[in-house]
Structure 1
Amino acid sequence: MSKSDCSKLHIALFPWFAFGHFIPYIHLSNKLAQKGHKVSFLLPKGIQPKLEHLNQYPHLIRFFPLVLSHVDGLPPGAESTSNVPLELQKYLAIALDQTRDQVEVVLKVTKPDMVFCDFGHWIPALARQIGIKSICYEVVSSMPCGLAGRKIAKEMSVDELIQLPPGYPSSKVRIKAEEVAALLFIAEDFGIGLSFQDRIRTCVKESDAIAFRTYREIEGPFCDYVAQRFGKSVLLSGPCLPETQTQQLEDKWANWLNKFEPSSVVFCSFGSQSMLEKDEFQELLLGFELSGLPFLVALKPPQGCLTIEEALPEGFQGRVQGRGLVHGGWVPQELLLRHPSIGCFVNHCGYGTMWESLFSDCQIVLIPEISDQILNTRLMVEELRIAVEVERGKNRQIPKESLSKAIKLVMDKDNEMASLLKRNHAKLKQLLSNRDLQEEYINNFIRDLQNLLK
């Protein structure tokens, strides 16, 4: 019997109302329940049916649905970021804060040992009041948390904004001067009377410990820096990705991909949150066309368009017939990445996608948008040296020539840089794919949680 089985825990989870947070929290719940620990999962009422199929241990993982109050400015019925544009998500944060009384009742009735949170900045104080521990469990990398040790304000100069805090472990994993607009988002209001950064910092500073879903092998120095910066324990759960699915790719995808040579197709996906302007969308597609390679692009219709078809560049479909496919709905990203014909993955480098690309055999081309994606990209490109970043033009636009150039570089088998990236990626994947590694991390994570209760 492993040490993690000595005493069973009861853990409550209260993630931010976004599928990019719900899903990592449910993956963690499954890993905890697999070891016999009990989980109480608090979430908006309408989200529960969408997550139930991911609950592998319904006898140990129990959902507690919360009813969201109406908030002026929030689209009617909105319960997650999926149907709330970025600029309106501050109202969703207000809705989250207004569940405090419901959350308090659930915690008092269920009496967990501890509660995990990320955006609920009031959770650590509530947990102390009830007499339980609080853990700030971040679903993004440790790097933004490390940079959050200093205050970001709109009135700061560009030089002040991009300055690294003392002791920060890398001069490469940073925001550049031309990217400060992406950084300034964290100084925007996010709720009533506090900024996005205030919310995260309070959660980090007031909790009993900070936790990340990563491996030391990827982010060790940054995790150590966060521990030192905030003066508290940093626990690592590992990425907690679900076991590899045995399911097969649907025929409509497999039949199309099977027409192409191994490792020859470029796959692009920017996740559920990203919505491009029409001109950006068209320039991107023209970049894939210009590469001359077969491609599968999965993007939402751009702003102002109801369908992908109405947004395509003029004559595009005719020119790429047979070698290019553009899809406007959800795609089985993980299964597609495992298809032998996919050789390159173009993405925004959101944290979940970053892990999926690490566990793939694909060459990686990155086009980050927001601050945490930018930091993830610098880690992949500058520190790990397993990916390339597409060079932006004026006003941070992505010219078709830049995208085509990046794709052609990594897909050129005779290119020295492409070979180096491939070798580095293969070595890292081999290390991370060790089945015992995640097991070791989750056992140590549970042991560390138990030690917090002593």
Structure 2
Amino acid sequence: MATAHFVFVPLMSQGHLIPAVDTAMLLATHGAVCTVIVTPASAARVRPTVESAQRSGLRLRLAEFPLDYAGAGLPEGVDSTDDGHVPPQFMPRYFLAVSRIRDAVERHLRDAASPPPTCVVADFCHPWTSGLAAALAVPRLTFFSTCALCLLCHHNLEKFRAFDGVVGDDEPVPVPGLPPTSTSSTITVTRAQAPRFFRGVPGWEKFADDVERAWAESDGDVINTFLEMEPEFVAGYVAARGTKVWTVGPVALYHRTTATLALRGHTHNSVAGAVDADECLRWLDGKDPSSVVYVSFGSIVDLEEKQTIELGLGLESSGHPFVWVVKSPNRHGETAASFLRDLEARVAGRGLLVWGWAPQALILSHGAVGAFVTHCGWNSTMEAATAGVAVVAWPHFADQFVNAKMAVEVLRIGVGVGVEEPVVYQRVKKEIVVGRETVEAAVRSAMDGGEEGEARRRRARALSAKATAAMREGGSSHANLVDLVKRFQPRHVVESGARNGKATSQLHPSADLELEIHGH
């Protein structure tokens, strides 16, 4: 039988890379061949997971392409956006360097790929992959690890020019054209909260145009969400953009065992006092069910010293056991690092500070965890929903504000801390600190055993059940994964001239191209 071969081109950032690899593994479980294009640092992050998948018989490959640092004017070794590897002033050069691997990727896929590629699945941040797919004469899908609500908000805010005439970045406006839900009829955002996908960032105007153009010209979108989580917004997004959408999440559910969860995104902890996955589990095993608060702000966010101290004191005062991923000492100032070591000694037994990498999905899936203090990156939000835990929503930048609104206002599985504007990547530097009293109150609210807290937890557990059902045989995401593999088999892909001045590919007429959403 002819085999579909998907070429994934993720953004080399943990929040984009890991769900792309998870999606590739899911497609491989349904018989596809999947190649993931990576830089050396990104390859190191996902290699343990990929090798585990390969040992189980999946046809999953990593293809490494080093960047030309000197040619792009980058410091040596800057090949990942995680952990501060790319200082902000070098970010445009970084994206330029990544785009320049196109010719090498094309040669590799022409000369060494067997079977030949049948589809490119590219992160929306890589508009240059339009040319790659055209040169290979295969379709190209845009990959998003964010919610359909976020994508629809962006589209409608741009289409209806919702911020025209709005002077301040902090003035909320209703997002036009959103379908009402059973819990929220209106969602408002400020310009600072809007998921603008590089819009409004000085110096990024052309790149934003390129992203939008490539997105519009793609042959469909693959989104790490699931239909039952946001049916109105998935349908609204399909109708608004007139595109084919495959919802395939929660892709983290590929990892159904402790062993594979522990490998997901694994990096070696060389920090003194760092704990590994087994130690985390043993510590959690000693706690009561749903009694522990898990705290993590993802791979990019580094808290300012004052905020680190206020957060720590708020957690300490809450009285609840907690696991806090504080990252490595070199990502903290001397004052904050000293405070964290003192706090670690004071809360020994009740609080666990994780220095370095943490097996997040594994921790969230443990029965002792009852709430998640999160920056509301979409992967973290999805992992919380999948695990059925309540969230304390603390957005920092980009799509995180809309994700927080999804959790708090639409799904009603979370409480907010009141942050209404970006904390990082600010255009004008401004100190924003959530005080210890607010932290304590938010944690107590999320862990509340009263009627409101129990209702929140019931909704979280119900959402978790829907997430699991979506990935089982017969579920909406499972059906979309099967459909992707079927549609992009070679016998269904034929060259069809040009669209918008570029070579492109369409599916064979036997594959229905009408807009559809499986399970809706």
TM-score (norm: length of structure 2)? 0.76
Within the candidate set 188, 193, 201, 2:201 is matched to: 188
Give 2:507's aligned residue: 453
Question: Any idea what the Cα deviations from partners look like across 1:141-177, whole Å, max 9, x if unmatched?
Answer: 2233223325489996347985455423357675633
* Alignment equivalent of 2:120, drawn from 102, 115, 120: 115
When residues 231 and 351 of structure 1 are mapped into structure 2, their CA distance, relative to the original with a 3 A threshold, is same
Residue 115 (structure 1) shift: 0.8
CA contact (8 A) 1:172 1:383 kept: no
Structure 2 residues not aligned, in runs of 5+? 263-275, 421-429, 493-505, 509-520
> What is the aligned partner in structure 1 of residue 67 from structure 2?
68
1:266 aligns with 2:282: no
**Deviation at residue 385 of structure 1 after TM alignment:** 1.0
Does the aligned pair in 1 maintain the 2:25–2:58 contact within 8 Å? Answer: no
Q: 1:150-161 residue pairs with structure 2 within 5 A?
A: 150-151=157-158, 157-158=167-168
Aligned residue for 2:95, secondary structure, equals helix
CA contact (8 A) 1:90 1:189 kept: no
CA-to-partner distance for each residue in 1:28-58, whole Å, 9 max, x for gaps? Answer: 1111222221222222144334322222137
Q: 2:99 aligns with which of 88, 92, 97?
A: 97
Matched, 1:420 2:455: yes
Which of these residues, 11, 17, 32, is aligned with residue 12 of structure 2? Answer: 17
User: Residues 150-229 of structure 1: matches in 2 within 5 Å?
Assistant: 150-151=157-158, 157-158=167-168, 163-164=173-174, 166-169=176-179, 174=187, 176-177=189-190, 179-180=192-193, 186-188=199-201, 194-195=206-207, 197-229=208-240
Greater mean deviation of Cα atoms: 26-35 or 151-160: 151-160
1:234 to 245, 258, 276: 245
RMSD: 3.2
1:243 aligned onto 2:270 = no
Task: Say if 2:39 is the partner of 1:44.
Answer: yes
| Contact 2:292-2:323 at 8 Å conserved across structures | yes
Give the counterpart letter for 2:290 in structure 1: S
Cα pair distance change 1:204/1:279, threshold 3 Å: same
Instruction: Kindly indicate whether the alpha-carbon contact (under 8 Å) linking 1:10 and 1:37 is maintained by their aligned counterparts in 2.
Output: yes
CA contact (8 A) 2:305 2:333 kept: no
Residues 1:131 and 2:137 are matched in the alignment: yes
C-alpha spacing 1:311/1:375, structure 2 compared with 1 (3 Å): farther
Moved more, 245-254 or 421-430: 245-254
- Provide Cα deviations, 1:293-332, integer angstroms capped at 9, x if missing partner: 2222112257863679734169645543432232221112
1:280 to 307, 319, 323: 307
Q: Aligned to 1:146, which of 144, 152, 168?
A: 152
Query: Structure 2 vs 1, CA of residues 184 and 284 (structure 1 numbering), >3 Å: closer, same or farther?
Result: farther
| Counterpart selection for 1:298 from 315, 325, 334 | 325
Q: Call closer, same or farther: CA 1:279–1:245 in 2, change over 3 Å.
A: same
- Aligned pair 1:429/2:440, yes or no? no
**CA shift in 2, pair 1:89/1:50, >3 Å:** same
User: Which residue number corresponds to residue 3 of structure 1?
Assistant: none
Could you tell me which of 369, 373, 379 is aligned with 1:352? Answer: 379
Give the secondary-structure state (helix, strand or coil) at the position aligned to 1:364. strand
CA gap of 1:253–1:313, structure 2 versus 1, over 3 A, is: closer
Contact 1:307 1:328 in 2 (8 A): no
Gaps of 5+ in 1: 1-5
Post-superposition offset of 1:198:
2.8
Q: Alpha carbons of 1:113 and 1:361: their partners in 2 closer, same or farther (altered >3 Å)?
A: closer
Question: What is the total number of aligned residue pairs between the two structures?
Answer: 446
Distance across 1 between alignment mates of 2:358 and 2:335? 14
Query: Deviation string for 1:201-230 (max 9, x for gaps)?
Result: 223112121221221111322222332222
Between 38-47 and 172-181, report the one with greater CA deviation.
Answer: 172-181
Q: Is the 8 A contact 1:350 1:372 kept in 2?
A: yes
Q: CA deviation at 1:402?
A: 1.3
How high is the sequence identity, in percent, across the aligned residues?
A: 27
Is this contact kept in 2: 1:266–1:293, CA < 8 A?
A: yes
